[in-house]
Amino acid sequence: MPDPSHPQFQAAVIGAGPAGLMAAEVLAQGGVSVQVYESKPSAGRKLLVAGSSGLNLTRAEPFDVFLSRYGSQSQNLKPLLKAFGPDQLIEWVHHLGIETFVGSSARVFPKEMLAASFLHTWLERLKTLGVHFHYEHTWQGWTENNELRFHSPQGETTDKADAVILALGGASWPQLGSTGEWAAILKHHDISLAPFQPANCGFEVHWSDFFRNRFAGQPLKTVSLNFTDALGRSITQQGEFVITEHGVEGSLIYSAGALLRDEITANHKAVFYLDLLPDWPIEKLIERLSQPRGSRSIASHLEKSVGIKGVKSALLWEFLPRETFQQPEQLAKAIKALPIPLIAPRPIAEAISTAGGVLFSELNQDLMLRKLPGVFCAGEMLDWEAPTGGYLLTACFSSGHAAGSGALDWLNHKINLK
């Protein structure tokens, strides 16, 4: 903790999303004067949109399973999530006075569900801790005197800070503030970045006009996705997703999104296999489909014998040769593994989050930039990605907590050197 006999330190947190707000809280509780700068007119805009129908905070599952959702960056995020992961996050939410419950698939929500009340409660606590907010302030970098520069409604303003937390988000949903424009500033200071890529995004499929016009917006429920890339990495997961005008999107697609995107980048295409009836063994399907259909149409036979209708039936007609419908064994195999060819990920501006950003090699264990002492990074501006469903948000909270704690330790070290 900073020594109260010394003048109070000043910290600037740039970005008022979950990572920035968490860093601000840690610093304020450590006795630091905190100024939060946000380019938009209010805080947490992306959080509010993402949690408008229910704020999925984290996941109540074994830590090793939870950690695996971060893919290639799991080991970089492990110490952060060990220090402030799902259990600590839930405890912190309870200390806010907000009850939680575990919903389907071990997802953890605040009892009131909606993000607006959660954010309001949190902001009130931050104000009680003395955190000051400056909205419509867009970071422009540093002056020659190492002061922070901002564009504001009053013109250019500057601020001097003893420690700086950058929590500027990635490059998705730019209308909510995550523009990625900060990348040019850090590159100017010789900070290495991985290129931004869409994550938790939809993918394009070449639908027929009939299928697109008839089924765009339709959900596909109780299906299983299987995908193996050219390197042998694979995923099999059950869930649901949505047919869109351009292709497919939704939680099941997001779960495989990184592998699908990287496969398209490497080989210009990707094909996943869809099990339309994951609870049915193929032998049962063959037996049912082999029954005489009499005067019934093929579509009616599919519905009556195995319950396939609507969008699931249309998907079979979209991708299978007509003769397959006359061959029960081949039709059953297709129902269990229907190939869905993907053309490209949707544009990054539509993605829920992004991969890419500040490389972990540019940071020390406290998330401080090695080339810019006293400047810490947190949240989606770091080079990691995770599927939605609590993983994305937990790592934002966790990295914000780590950056705030790291900044406190660094300020303490400055005192000890005096």
What's the pLDDT at 62?
A: 97
Residue pair 162/9 in contact by the 8 Å Cβ criterion: yes
Q: In this model, does residue 417 exceed pLDDT 70? A: no
Query: Whole-number mean pLDDT of the chain?
Result: 95
Q: What is the C-alpha radius of gyration for the chain, rounded to an integer number of angstroms?
A: 25
What's the pLDDT at 1?
A: 40
pLDDT in tens, 118-168: 999 999 999 999 999 999 999 999 999 999 999 999 999 999 999 999 999
Burial of 48 (0-12, 13-18, 19+ CB in 10 A): middle
Residue pair 198/354 in contact by the 8 Å Cβ criterion: yes
Q: In this model, does residue 3 exceed pLDDT 80? A: no
Phi-psi region of 113 (alpha: psi -120 to 50; beta: other; left: phi over 0): left
pLDDT in tens, 393-406: 999 999 999 999 99
Q: Distance between CA atoms of 234 and 175, rounded to whole angstroms? A: 34
What's the pLDDT at 416?
A: 67
40-49, 215-224, 248-257, 290-299: least confident range? 290-299
Structure tokens at 361: 């090699």
What's the pLDDT at 418?
A: 53
pLDDT band at 276 (very low <50, low <70, confident <90, very high): very high
Q: In this model, does residue 6 exceed pLDDT 50? A: no
Domain boundaries, the chain: 10-198+351-417, 203-345
pTM, to two decimals: 0.92
CATH number for region 10-198+351-417: 3.50.50.60
Q: In this model, does residue 7 exceed pLDDT 60? A: no
pLDDT in tens, 67-113: 999 999 999 999 999 999 999 999 999 999 999 999 988 999 999 86
* % pLDDT > 70, the chain: 97
pLDDT in tens, 331-356: 999 999 999 999 999 999 999 999 99
Phi-psi region of 106 (alpha: psi -120 to 50; beta: other; left: phi over 0): left
Q: Between vectors from CA 175 to CA 11 and to CA 114, what angle results, nearest 5°? A: 80
Q: Distance between CA atoms of 174 and 349, rounded to whole angstroms? A: 6
pLDDT band at 35 (very low <50, low <70, confident <90, very high): very high
Three-class secondary structure of residue 4 per DSSP: coil
Q: Distance between CA atoms of 377 and 396, rounded to whole angstroms? A: 11
Q: Distance between CA atoms of 170 and 383, rounded to whole angstroms? A: 9
